[in-house]
Amino acid sequence: MPERSSTRAARYMSQQSAAEYADCTVRTIRNLIARGDLTGYRLGARAIRVDRAELDALLVPIPSAKSGGRR
């Protein structure tokens, strides 16, 4: 069996890993899935995984006065 590269980021991550990655709680990840803002993928009977790209898409920077609007 090929060994998984530790340098390559996994596309799917557990809810716990997603919470650590986004610096939030597992409850927040579960709420995002329940609201439909984030897709949860079932792996087997119990495990739920989250797509890292979808999580990244939810993390939107807030524009500041310097970078945002008026000049």
- Pick 55 or 63 by higher pLDDT: 55
**What residue ranges do the domains of the chain occupy?**
12-58
Given a cut of 60, whether residue 39 has pLDDT beyond it is yes
Across the chain, mean pLDDT equals: 87
47 pairs with which residues across the strands? Answer: 43
Alpha-carbon gap, residue 45 to 49, rounded angstroms: 12
- Is it the case that residue 17 has pLDDT exceeding 70? yes
The pLDDT of residue 38: 97
What b-and-e string marks burial along 20-42, b requiring 16 or more CB atoms within 10 Å of the CB? ebbeeeeeebbebbeeeebebee
The answer to whether residue 19 scores a pLDDT higher than 80 is yes
Which position has the higher pLDDT, 5 or 65?
65
